Structures are given as C-alpha cells and as structure tokens.
Structure 1
Amino acid sequence: MRWDTVDFVIRSAAGWFFRARNAESWIFRGAVAVLIAIHGANWAFSYSGPIWGTPGTVEIGTAGTIPDGILWGVTMVCALLMIGSAVWAWRRYSDEQERLSRKKVFVIEGRGLRDDDGSPLKAAVPDSIIGTRMDYLLDVRQRKDGLIVEPEDLLQPIGTMKTWLHQAQKGNDRSDLTTVYGGLTAVPLTFLTGVLLDDEGDVVVMDWDRTASRWRLLDGSDDGLRFQITGIEEAGSAREVVLAISASYTVKSEDLATTFTHPVVRMTLRDSQSSHWSQARQSALADQFLGILKQLDAMGVDRIHLVLAAQNSVVFNLARRYDKRNLPKLIVYQYERAQEARYPWGIEMPVAGAPAARVVHLARAGTQSHTG
C-alpha cells in the first residue's frame, strides 16, 4: 500500500472522528469515552522497597471497583456500538460518493474574438459546483484576430454544441446536471448560443475579467443601476424597429445611420463603466429587456433589429430571456468599425417560427440579403 494512501486514510479517519457532526460519529466518540472511563477506573500501582529506610510495600489503585462481569459487558456493548457506527459511516460515505458520481457539470466555453487558447474555463469552475467536469470548446475562430470573414461557417458549430449537450444529458436526472457557460465570442454568436440554451434550466454564467486576466463568476453586488428607455413613443406603428442597447459602450446614432432607416428605441446604462459582475443586476436588466420586447410586440412590431454593446455575459443572459414563440422576429447585428456600413451582417435568430438561424448581410442602409 502506498504511503499517500495510508496518509489519506489516517487523515480522513481523524477528520471524521474529531470534526464530523453526524449521529454515527457522536455514537463512536461516546463509546470511546465510556471505554476510557471504565477501564481507566480499574488501575493499580504497587511498590515494594525501602520506605524511609524501612522495607515495605505500597499499593494504590481502584482495581475491583467495577466488577469484571459489568466491565466486560459494557466493553462488549461499546465495541459493538463502535463497529456499528463505523459501518454506518461507511454506508453514508458510499451513498454520498454514489450521489456525487451521478452529478455532472457541462462546461461550455466559447472562443472567437482572439486566436489563442488562453486560460481554459474548465479550470476556473469553482469547487463549490460539484460534479464530474465535461467540457466543450465552442470554437468559432476564423484565424483572423478579431475579424469574422465568413459568419455563415460559424452557425453549424453552435448547433453542434447544442446537439452535444443533449446527447450528454441523456439518461441523467436533470437535478444531477449543471451547465456552466463562459465565452469571448462576437455578439450575434453569443446571443445565438443563449437562445439555444434558454431551456437548459439554471445555467451558471462566468465571464472574463480583463483586469485580473481570469474567468470569474457573477458574484458582485447589485448597484441598482438600470436601463433608461428612450424612443419607444417614436416607434409608433412601425413594423420594424432598431433596439439599441448600450451597456459597455454607447451605440452611436451616426453608426446606426450607416445601416438602418427604422425608428430607434434605446436601452442605455448611463454609467457604461459600472461593474456588470452582479447576477442580480443582470437578471433585473434582462427583465427590463423582456418588458420592452413585450411592449414592442403589443405595438405591432413584426421584426426587431437588435444592436448590442455589452459584455459577453450580459448578451448571453439577455438572449436566454427571449421568448422564442411569442415575441417578434429578431436579427442581432455585428459591429465592424472599419466598414462603411457599421453593422454589415447579423444573425436572424430561430424565433417567431424561424426554423433555423441564418446570416443576414446588409450592404448599405435599407438593403439586405439572406444567406446561411
């Protein structure tokens, strides 16, 4: 037997004996205490030799205080209790290990904005999320740093990711499954990923902390900052509107004018530099987003052109709130600063009856073509 195995067993046993607070550990400790007490009560000390210059014998002890029949009867009961509590503890441990072995954590990492491997999301998932890690790299890079040249080629990898997740979940109880998502991908691709994962229950979302250069949970506090809504009245009876969301940067009117001719509704965080590291805050922003979508739908809007300047986790959480059956058609656009039309292409989402996502190219304001 290897020494590290022996060391693990000793440490585990000591930890269970001294720190565990379950019933069997208390029974075991109680039995040990009784054994120490009763056997410690039967002791004797004998001395034979000179005592102040005179030969003599001294005997000190409590031997015989507890009759042997009672002593060994209690010893037997305590031994049985110790054996029984040890078996009980082992059964509890085995059941817990079996339960943990059923738990699975599906880690989906999207890579697309930079052509490097970086720090893997799987390694950053905290130990508090229990289960066997199964990671999936959603690779939507095209080997040109920060530039997407053929967006049509990137739809299939996202669909393949969804298929992989469904296959991996088969035969498992949903209560044993956890999905973790984090990514650095273009806005339309992130939004599409969120739309496809909207029915996966609670998804743990992580984001890349550029300051600390590491993946991080949305574990910050809610500062109470919310979107300010403008332009909803100007939408009037328009069948198509542009919904411009400014969370990390301001969506400029002059950039929108290079691509769109529709009325513009804005959702703006006045302090675009404020922290987005609060799940509670992002949930509240997503609620606002859903509320505006419902309002536009009630006004008769048939298609929404969505322009987003936001962190990856914000885009993903907004996408998961989109009701695929009851809200208008939706195209989410990619911003390209170097092009004449600042939003040259977008992805029409598989919502409102659209069977699959497809790429929409815009050559100039007011014209579009569908591919993909």
Structure 2
Amino acid sequence: MIKYFVRSFIDWIFRRRSVGVTLVKIGAPLLAVVLVGLTVGVTIPTTQGPYFFSWDSSGSTGAISWAVFIIASFIVLLGAFMIIRDILQESRKKVIVIEARGLRDWQGQPLASAVPSSIPGRPEQVIVDLRQGVVDGQIVSPDAALRRLASLPDDIARRCDGLDRSDISFVLGGLAPVPFLFLLGVIVDDESRTLIMDWERKKHAWRELAEEDDGKRFMVTGLDAVNADIKRVALCVSASYDVLEADVRIVEAGVPIIKMELEGRSTSSHWSETKQQQLAQQFLDAVMSLARQGVTEISLFLAAPASLTMRLGTLYDKRNLPRVEVSQYEQSDPKRFPWAVRMPVAGLPHAELAQR
C-alpha cells in the first residue's frame, strides 16, 4: 500500500493535472520567497507614469511577509490535502489484469507489467494458464483448458465484491486458441471499462492499439441467402488469415455461409483501437441481422488477431443474440475444425466443448 501511495503521488505531481497540483505550484514559490528573504519589485506602467511596488521580507514590511507566508502556507496545505484526497479515492479503484497463456514454453513479458499508467487503480494480475492441454503447440486437451476458464467468472466476482462498477477496470491480453480468447471476452463482457492489448511478436512486448485507422472494413456477403426457415448458419470472419469455405463445409454441410472478409487483411492490420471498434460494430450488426431473420444458432469460424477476437467476445450479448459456437482450426487435422466451444449465451449457463 505504501509503495502504491508513493508511486501514485509521483504520478500526480509529474503526470496528472489536478487542482491540488496547481495550488501547490502556486503556493510553493510564494512560500520560498518569504522564507529566503528576497526583495521583490514590480513596475506597473500607468497613464500617470510607472508605478513601482516592492516589499522586503526582512525589512519594514514584515507584516506583509507574514501575511504572504500564511496565505502561501494555506495554499500549499490545501493543495497537498487535495492531492492526498485524490490519491485515496484512486486507491479504491482496481485494475484486474487478465492474461491467457496458451502457448508452450511461454517466457514473455507479463501483461501486468505493461499496463499503462493512464489507467488508475491497483493492478491485480490474473493468469489463466491453458498450457496443460498443449503438446508441441497444439491443443490436445481442450476440455482441460476449458475447465480452467470455467472458474474465471467466480474469481472475477470475488475480486469485484464490494466495489462499485465505476471503480473497476479490466485489461485483457492473451496468446491462446481462438475459442478460448473469444470465451474470455464473453466472460468479461463490456459492462466495465476494458482495455485490450496485444502481443507484438517483432518487439516481443505487449502494446496498446495506438496506430491510426486505415479505414479498411469487413466486406459482408451471404446475408441475403438467409430467410425465416433457416435456424443455423456458418459465419466466417477473415480478419487476418482466410477462412476457406471448403474447410468449413467439412463440418458444416448444407447451412448458409455468411462471409466477413477484411479488406487488405494481414497479421498486422489490427493495431488501431478505432478500427477494431468499427470492425466489432460490423460484426455485431451482422449477428443482429441474423437474429432478426430468425437464426437461433451461429457456427463461428474466426481467423483474427487475439485482441480483435477478445473484443468480439466482449460485445456478444449474452441474452439477446443467438447461440454461438466458436471453432478451432487445426491445419494438420483432416476435419480442419476438430472441436468448438459453445459460448455461455442465450440461456446456456456454462461453456461447453463440442468435439467433432
């Protein structure tokens, strides 16, 4: 607590603008002038000639010096009080940092160490280690990984117990299979302030999504093939790699396929927060359109960066949107999508594994 207080105090002084800091900056120089005993003179030009005002803290103007000393001391003390008050208010805030680890032999920088100082609150690190189900980089026990994620809602509830929602922020990041990242987003949802970060493979560091929006969006096709008689569809989202229709047909034969293909997609076309928000809105609009047409089940095939995958999960309404299962792609498997995770939405109380 003391360490956090000292760090927060330094942040307030050097990085944050506040009334308290402003008062200290005003009062401290005045107090220094009085204590050092300098003579101050000011010349003010008027229509009747220059007016010269001066005072000497060590001379005959001692009464004025004492008055200035009292006023400056009051200003400094008031500013210090306001800084301490703000820090104490901030200390009630909590930042829950959730990092999903799904790659073998992970030795990278912890997400908690990369949380920007602009997010107020005491950080609490939550690491969801899914690597027990990984062999040579491939998920072989998705049920074991799913069990680890199943306890996360209770963990989050315990950490948030007794706190106002406005005092809670989330930071999300992870390197794990797509279904688990999407599920992580569904669990956290978007009801609290959430910062999503991503792993920069070239720099081997966590980064915020701070680049400019290039204006490229999803091209949506296939919605016109859906009618009131269709209850299940395959939604293919290609935001980094391509989701191939031939692979989807292996596990979803006979259902309409809706495609959302990002223009100019690549593995590095996702570093804009604004762009991701717009892409997520396009995804949400497509799902809502399917729901209005009577679709009750969505089989989601998603090829996207981790940050965008989690963002789509946070936006997926648990009550008003169709049931959704997110498939895992395995190039070496003849089925291509050997398993999927049914998300805890639309009345499904817990996430379920669907083996194919």
Which interval holds the TM-score relative to the shorter structure? 0.7 to 0.9
Q: Does the CA-based 8 Å contact 2:190-2:315 persist in structure 1?
A: no
Corresponding residue pairs, total: 325
The aligned amino acid for 1:156 is: R
Q: Deviations over 1:31-58 (max 9, x none)?
A: 55467787579xxxxxxxxxxxxxxxxx
- Shift, 1:13, TM fit: 10
* Residues 1:89 and 2:85 are matched in the alignment: no
For the aligned residue pairs, the C-alpha RMSD in angstroms reads 2.8
- Counterpart for residue 270 of structure 2: 276
The aligned amino acid for 1:76 is: W
* Residues 1:191 and 2:182 are matched in the alignment: yes
Q: Deviations over 1:59-101 (max 9, x none)?
A: xxxxxx99x9952322322232233233223312321331232
How far apart, CA to CA, are the structure 1 residues paired with 2:216 and 2:71? Answer: 59
Report which of the two structures shows the higher radius of gyration computed on alpha carbons.
1
1:258 to 243, 250, 255: 250
- Shift, 1:183, TM fit: 0.4
Q: Which of 86-95 and 162-171 deviates more? A: 86-95
- Counterpart for residue 47 of structure 1: none
How far apart, CA to CA, are the structure 2 residues paired with 1:69 and 1:258? Answer: 95
How far apart, CA to CA, are the structure 2 residues paired with 1:321 and 1:14? Answer: 36
1:1-372 alignment runs, 5 A limit: 22-30=22-30, 32-33=32-33, 71-141=61-131, 142-236=133-227, 237-261=229-253, 262-273=255-266, 275-362=269-356
- Counterpart for residue 4 of structure 1: none
- Shift, 1:143, TM fit: 4.2
Q: Does the CA-based 8 Å contact 2:240-2:269 persist in structure 1?
A: no
Q: Does the CA-based 8 Å contact 1:228-1:269 persist in structure 2?
A: yes
What's the secondary structure of 2:159's corresponding residue? helix
Q: Does the CA-based 8 Å contact 1:297-1:327 persist in structure 2?
A: yes
The aligned amino acid for 1:196 is: I
Q: Does the CA-based 8 Å contact 1:35-1:78 persist in structure 2?
A: no
Runs of at least 5 residues in structure 2 that lack an aligned partner in the other structure: 1-8, 42-54
TM-score, with length taken from structure 1? 0.80
TM-score, with length taken from structure 2? 0.83
Q: 1:84 to 1:313 in 2, by over 3 A?
A: same
- Shift, 1:131, TM fit: 2.1
Q: Deviations over 1:144-165 (max 9, x none)?
A: 1321112112222213222112
Runs of at least 5 residues in structure 1 that lack an aligned partner in the other structure: 1-8, 42-64, 363-372
Q: Does the CA-based 8 Å contact 1:38-1:71 persist in structure 2?
A: no
Give % identity: 36
The aligned amino acid for 1:127 is: S
